[in-house]
Structure 1
Amino acid sequence: MPRITKEDKARNRQNILEAAGRMFRSQGIDAVGIAELMKEAGLTHGGFYNHFASKNDLAVEVCGAAFAASLGGLARTIEDGPGEAGSPLEQVVAGYLSTAHRDAQDGGCPSASLVTDAGRQSEAVQSAYAEGVEGYLTGFAAEFLREAEEKGQELDPGEARDRAVRLLSEMVGALMLARAVRHVEPELSDEILRAGRGQALETR
């Protein structure tokens, strides 16, 4: 048999991570078997353990990578500043509570797609999830403080943190509810998104 190069091994590992990222977020971690996952990645079942010691280790890495991608998007939005959709936080809320994000085949942001799974997994997975949540809260709070300073207003860092917690909680809750009813009550799902966008923006 031809020898697998380091490049091939790295590519195979990345394929597993990407397939797991899609499947875990759209189906749930427990619902995805290793055989199914490896088939999605275009690899054989037995090859899994050449890359990861366990499914739990994979879940930890997937959770961290998914949040890193989402937080990277948040950072870019904040760095780009105001746009047609409003301030950076208004843009974030509009994108998060959009029909496109609700219907994302890969589950979209892990803050909502993995929220139930995280609490049922190992402490390592929960820690990776908590770190991602903290990244959102830190980013939101910093933006609240920046906006206040730009407007010549005083905002206590503790209040900025509280606003960040409320904003993320409202966004995640609204998205989860909208997803839960979208197939049987699509109009209700859209209503939840609309109301969620309005309520989240009032947090500011």
Structure 2
Amino acid sequence: MGHSQADKARSRERILNEAATQIRDKGLDALSIGSLMQQVKLTHGGFYGHFASRSDLIAAALEQALTLGEASARASRDPDKPVSVNSLVRSYLSRSHRDQPKSGCAIGALISDVGRADEQCRAVMEPHIEAFIAKVAETLGDDGDSGAIVAVSAMVGALAISRVITDPKRSDAILRTVRDAIVAMASDQ
């Protein structure tokens, strides 16, 4: 008996959600089709009913990871309060964000991987980076976007570096230093 289109869509969504979690946690290259399909309790052969290739899966999983990360950030904000530079930066450059790459911002988790990836993956991430810059520019009240480019670059870089540093105090200091610098930059504008 065949599967309905709704069943197929649900299976694809399960595959994408698991793949998105895995790539945020371990990176693009660590994604294994066999173990992914086993994780979602589907056959390896069934993969090709959903994706033409591993590259197509990675691009779709990257989009899913970026979208889920953005939704998570929106959900963590108080909808009754406007987003301030301070709240945005404190949330992004926090210990909890640093310590949970598989549920946080996919840009911060995957920027280096995507920088080395194929054009398809870079094309998936690029509009999300531009949207992040635009959101920060709006929050900063930046008429252009030069301050937002600096802030986003500093936040993503600090998050990535803080995840590499093994000394918790030094890692916290990196987050705190960049957080304070961005808040100070915003108050100077």
TM-score (normalizing by structure 1): 0.82
Matched, 1:165 2:149: yes
Equivalent residue number for residue 35 of structure 2: 36
Correspondent of 2:120 among 118, 124, 128: 124
**1:30 partner SS:** helix
Equivalent residue number for residue 174 of structure 2: 192
Is the deviation greater in 55-64 or in 115-124? 55-64
Identity %: 34
Q: Which runs of structure 2 are paired with 1:2-81 in the superposition (5 Å)? A: 2-72=1-71, 77=77, 80-81=80-81
**Alpha-carbon displacement from aligned partner over 1:47-102 (angstroms, at most 9, x marks no partner):** 111101112112222222332333445567496434xxxx5332121111111111
* Gapped regions of structure 2 (runs ≥ 5): none
Over 3 Å counting, the alpha-carbon distance change for 1:27 and 1:75 in structure 2 is closer
The aligned length equals: 185
Matched, 1:88 2:87: no
Is the deviation greater in 103-112 or in 166-175? 103-112
Equivalent residue number for residue 150 of structure 1: none
2:66 and 2:106 in contact (8 A); partners too: yes
Is the deviation greater in 58-67 or in 168-177? 58-67
1:174 and 1:193 in contact (8 A); partners too: yes
**2:28 partner SS:** coil
TM-score (normalizing by structure 2): 0.88
Cα distance in structure 2, aligned partners of 1:105 and 1:64: 16
**1:176 partner SS:** helix
Cα distance in structure 2, aligned partners of 1:126 and 1:105: 19
Alpha-carbon shift at residue 203 of structure 1 (Å):
2.7
1:141 and 1:164 in contact (8 A); partners too: yes
2:33 and 2:44 in contact (8 A); partners too: yes
2:69 and 2:105 in contact (8 A); partners too: yes
